[in-house]
Structure 1
Amino acid sequence: MADCLPFRSTGFFSDLILDYIEEKKSLKPYYNRFPSVGNFKSQIEEKSKSYSHDHRPGLVEVLKLQYEALSTSEATQHHLDLLLEHSTFTVTTGHQLNLFTGPLYFLYKIVSTINAAKQLKENYPDSNFVPIYWMASEDHDFDEINFFNFKEQKLEWKREAEGAVGHLSTSGLEELAQSLEKEFGKSENAEYLKGLFKVAYLEHETLASATRFLANELFGDYGLVILDADDARVKSMFSSHIKNDLLYHTAFRQTEKQAGKLAELGYNVQVNPREINLFYMHKGIRKRIVKQDDDYCVLETELRFSEQGILNLVDEYPERFSPNVVMRPLYQEVILPNLAYIGGGGELAYWLELKSLFEAENVAFPMLMLRNSVLLYSDKISRKLKKLETSIQDLFLSPEALEAKQTKKNSSIEIDFESQKKHLEKQFDDLYELAAKTDPSFYGAVAAQEKKQKNGLDHLEKRLLNAQKRKLKEENDRVLELQALLFPNRSLQERILNFSEIYVDYGDRLIPELMEELDPFQFEFLCLELTIYNTKS
């Protein structure tokens, strides 16, 4: 069973993203086309004309080499072959190489991407659409990805790390794999998860290869294509844009200007561009490139290049130049025949700062799609909510508001003083008529008295509410406990829980159920009830 509610009513999304999905007019200059199915016709035409189809053979060659060590499904192999055709386009999502996929929304991103490609094929049968997972293998924020949560336990990969995370050796994960024996339990589903973790991380040498295996195991049957763009051959396709950033600081000028305009509209700036938006990546380091006087220097190293020297380096070793968060989207859209990017609210916020950069670089700006967001809950929780006469939507309220609502609903005493306030206002209307016939000071005295008496009613209503809260505490606590269970740390479940916590109970029906229920063009928050069957322990 599934219910939807508007993103705005959840209380968990920024004004920028809410205004975007509601197509607020003031935001239209910051994106190309809104991602409705009908708008993809024009996007296909634009991308087909602007994309360098000469990139296709090299892109497919790199992808097939990356898939050599994997068991590739027929669906994925078919998509790899289709990428050679000019009528084939991609829909892309990106994600960090979080340990064991990290938060639940990793699944939602990829399911949204696969389903979007599927729906586009149904609506535009003359074209082909390939779902892409872009691995953020060049990130160096190890502390953001070295753990996942399981039943309130933080399971962490403890080690020192520097440089691109995709290059990290997986050695040292044996201890964590052993700890999963206890944490996951001994059910059939738990045994599958433990085996999946061991094969991914103990039988693959790098974090990139482990993550590629894991994503392929989970989604390969649906035709997902996984790309690690940390490769000299695909970087060479981007070399002219690397040089533009080094020489002309195009990204800095364009992004700063667009971010400033968004700030003037009252939105928070998500990313701040630098004059050079590239890292130097080589031999275990990933450090910023900066210009000092006439030379290009790599921070925290002794590396220093002349202008001609660094341009020669781009030609000879393009893989040593790693885009930052501002340049990575441009890199993606240059090398892929991409139509749309699917991401979370924070990601789309910084994409909205980039349209003028794409225009300056003569690259088609993709359609921006907010990924599906989901609250998963069991049929057992559903029965408890029904018994408490509480809806799943009520749980999106703050704990304070939820407790107040439950108290007012279950109290045998009417707590709402609205009728008394209206009666008071009617009484003061007569006094205001009288005051109008006298001097202004009397009018002010009436207004002050009205405010005082309304405040008194508010105070009495609050005291009555608190008294009833105490009386109904046991019943309220049951509702608040369910809320805390589904909203850990007062956050969305999808940002905290790992898929393993759901999989232990639900098993291999989880991803097919998500594939069935998630509609990437719906733009509403999904509440999905799962029926849990007993598993062998």
Structure 2
Amino acid sequence: MKLEQVSLPVNNKLLSEYWSGSEKLHTFFQYPLRDESYSKRAEYLKNQSYNTKQLSETIRSFMEPYGLTGKINENLSYLADGSPVIVGGQQAGILTGPLYSVHKAISVILLAKEQTVKLGTKVIPLFWIAGEDHDLEEINHTFTISQSEPKKRVYSERSKRKTMASTTEINKSELKNTIEDIFKDYGETEYTQDLYKSVVSAIEESNTFTDFFTRCMHSLFKDEGLLMIDAAFAPFRQFESKFFQQMIENNEKIAQVVVEKEQLLSEFGFGTPISATTDNANLFFVKDGERYLLERKSDYYINETANIKLTKEEILEVAVNSPENLSNNVVTRPLMQEMTMPVLAFVGGPGELAYWATLKDAFELLNLQMPLIVPRLNITLITRQVEQLLEEYQLTIKDVFNGKVKELKDKFLDSIQDEKAKEQIQQLHELVEEHYEKLLEHLNRQQIHLDQIVQKNKSYHRQQFDYLKSKIDQQVILKHEKIIRQFNTISSEIYPNDNYQERVFNPYQYLTIYGPSLISDLLELPFEFSNNHNVVHL
């Protein structure tokens, strides 16, 4: 395994300027992204009060059903004693969801290790599972490679209800069928059967999307001591009760300052990532298992679709007595994270960076500080097969990202066309057209009016000529299938659907090739947090 770092154009303006240390953008964040900020933040955390003992016990109770390793127990003890955490998170996707879920976890673990050394104090890696999210269409599928092309594999069970991932029960039989199809696409390797059995076992032991996600992530990271917590875990909601109350007491002000900050962000040319409004309560209410966004109207917290109408006093009562019926949104989730745990730094992707940029004033309104925001590692995995193809066609990773593979493939397809056959078909077409014209002239002279039937016959012949041409093209492509498949393999593996690999495939595709040590071996590589793209040659 070898690490290569390549410099690629950053298409996201906000991310690009964040890495460059833009003074203009820095005003939207608490700390600049540099070494001394970590020590400043660590000092700040020492002077804050967190109930880390209860937090640690809550996380322990969540993780116990999945198995507590020695390193997890050790990190839980450190957390109970007040050690700061590095946090990153993601929705509960099938087979961990896209690779970037794993890349976030890797980023969190490596940053925690790095800061443990630099600060001389234990820093804990923690993964925040967004199990409260209810957009199941975002998490019910993954992609594989089938016949050298990306193929979408979907868990087809549907629900019309907007239930959370953590409460949506999985159809185990249907999910097993989906997993079976996925592993068939992977093909047989020395690792396939063991991985398949472990995934099927995880399905058997799971009840919800979040259960299955957690078991998959836990199997990959348990030996690294990665702590995990589900945002929708009922005891965690109880722990958050007093913080929900603070959000409700300051609800209108939070909405106002976020709207103003987002407007300023837009004026600076960074867009409106969350489309904030002043009447958004930035909280969801869970009713009959479904999750509904609340608005503030005429002193009420409402959702007309669900016929929810609560006074401020009533929603405060919910926060006190049944906080599991409340849920955060994109604005309040970071605030809740800050109130519940000593966060040294938050690791996120470009989208998360954008919405955090709207929140500094909301943090300050609640007498909080925004933690350091660290963009996650961007990683592309290169298999040996793809490595050989890159060498054969003298291509670099940058070439693939820049579309050169498509250019080479198109050029090759042009070169193998049977132009002589096409020319002869064209001549046949012209000859038939000519004779039809003569036939029409003759019929018209005889006052036999069959123009429509003649045109229909001509159309039939045109279709047959087109069909013949397409069949010739198919045979030509079939004759050169190996080379075309090689071009497709390069594109599909590295830049599937014109997107980064980490946004499309899940880690099991690479675990079946490389083996179960993939994660531990990745964690041994000398990654650096920078705006470079990390290419790992397996």
TM range (shorter): 0.7 to 0.9
The runs of 5 or more residues in structure 2 that have no matched partner are 413-481
Q: Matched residue of 2:47: which SS?
A: helix
How far apart are residue 239 of structure 1 and its match? 4.0
Per-residue deviation, 1:478: 6.5
2:531 matches 1:523: yes
How big is each residue's C-alpha offset from its partner over 1:34-92, in whole Å with a ceiling of 9 and x where there is no partner?
33333210010112223x22x21221121121122122110111001111113x00000
Cα distance in 2, alignment partners of residues 479 and 184 from structure 1: 19
Alpha-carbon distance, 1:290 to partner: 2.2
Q: Deviations over 1:321-356 (max 9, x none)?
A: 101111111111110111111111111111111111
2:134 to 133, 140, 144: 140
Residue equivalent to 2:213: 211
SS in 1 for 2:284: strand
Distance 1:168 1:391, change over 3 A: same
Contact 2:19 2:530 in 1 (8 A): no
The whole-number CA distance in structure 1 between the counterparts of 2:487 and 2:178 is 35
TM-score (norm 2): 0.79
> 1:53-68, aligned counterparts within 5 Å?
53=50, 55-68=51-64
Residues in 1 aligned to 2:127 and 2:526: alpha-carbon distance in whole angstroms: 17
Counterpart code for 1:20: Y
> Could you tell me which residue of structure 2 aligns to residue 487 of structure 1?
495
1:81 and 2:77 aligned: yes
Q: Where in structure 1 are there 5+ consecutive unaligned residues?
A: 408-473, 531-537
Q: 361-370 vs 195-204, which deviates more? A: 195-204
In the alignment, what sits opposite 1:171?
Answer: 171
Matched, 1:118 2:123: no
Q: Distance in 2 between matches of 1:482 and 1:171?
A: 35
The percentage of aligned residue pairs carrying the same residue is 24
Instruction: Quote the Cα distance in structure 1 between the aligned partners of 2:28 and 2:406.
Output: 36
Which residue of structure 2 lines up, in the alignment, with residue 29 of structure 1? 27
Q: In structure 2, which of residues 198, 201, 217 is the aligned counterpart of residue 199 of structure 1?
A: 201
Q: Distance in 1 between matches of 2:237 and 2:184?
A: 43
1:29 shift after superposition: 0.4
Matched, 1:362 2:367: yes
Alignment partner of 1:338 out of 325, 340, 343: 343
Secondary structure of the 1:249 match is: helix
Q: 1:306 to 1:393 in 2, by over 3 A?
A: closer
Name the amino acid aligned to 1:209.
D
How far did residue 400 of structure 1 move?
8.8
C-alpha distance in structure 1 between counterparts of 2:501 and 2:260, whole Å? 36
Secondary structure of 1:193's counterpart equals helix
- In structure 2, C-alpha distance between the alignment counterparts of 1:58 and 1:364, rounded to whole Å: 22
Alpha-carbon distance between aligned partners in 1 of 2:406 and 2:392, rounded to the nearest angstrom: 20
Counterpart Cα distance in 2 of 1:399 and 1:186? 31
Question: In the alignment, is the contact (CA less than 8 A) between 1:394 and 1:402 conserved in 2?
Answer: no
Determine if contact 1:89/1:128 at 8 Å carries over to the other structure.
Answer: yes
Matched position secondary structure for 1:166: coil
* Amino acid of the structure 1 residue aligned with 2:71: A
SS at the partner of 1:170?
coil
Deviations 1:236-263 (A, max 9, x none): 5544553454454232111111111111
Name the stretch that deviates more: 395-404 or 146-155.
Answer: 395-404
1:34 match: secondary structure: coil
Partner of 2:43: 45
| Aligned equivalents of 1:38, 1:331: Cα separation in 2 | 25
Aligned equivalent of 2:254: 251
Q: C-alpha offsets along residues 250-277 of structure 1, whole Å, 9 cap, x if unaligned?
A: 3211111111111111112211224310
8 Å Cα contact 2:144-2:182 kept in structure 1: no
* Distance 1:291-1:256 versus aligned 2 partners, 3 A rule: closer
Aligned to 1:382: 387
Shift of 1:97: 0.3
- Equivalence for 1:276: 281
Deviation of the 1:320 alpha carbon: 1.1
Amino acid at match of 1:80: L
Q: Which amino acid aligns with 1:210?
A: F
How many angstroms does 1:204 deviate by? 1.5
- Structure 1 residues 48 and 299 mapped into 2: Cα distance closer, same or farther (>3 Å)? farther
**C-alpha spacing 1:200/1:263, structure 2 compared with 1 (3 Å):** same
Per the alignment, in what secondary structure is the counterpart of residue 122 of structure 1? helix
Offset of 1:228 from its aligned partner? 1.4
Equivalents in 1 of 2:503, 2:525: separation in Å?
19
Give the TM-score normalised by the residue count of structure 1. Answer: 0.79
Gap change, CA 1:402 and 1:181, over 3 Å in 2: closer
Other-structure match for 2:329:
324
Q: Which moved more, 1:27-36 or 1:361-370?
A: 27-36
Paired residue type of 2:313:
Q
Question: Quick one: which of 353, 356, 377 aligns to 1:351?
Answer: 356
Q: Could you tell which deviates more after superposition, 243-252 or 310-319? A: 243-252
Aligned to 2:228: 226
Q: How many residues are paired up? A: 457
SS at match of 1:204: coil
Alpha-carbon distance in structure 2 between the residues aligned to 1:20 and 1:258: 17
Quote the offset at 1:315 in angstroms.
1.1
Deviations 1:377-398 (A, max 9, x none): 1233333323433322222213
What's the CA shift string for 1:417-443, capped at 9, x where partnerless? xxxxxxxxxxxxxxxxxxxxxxxxxxx
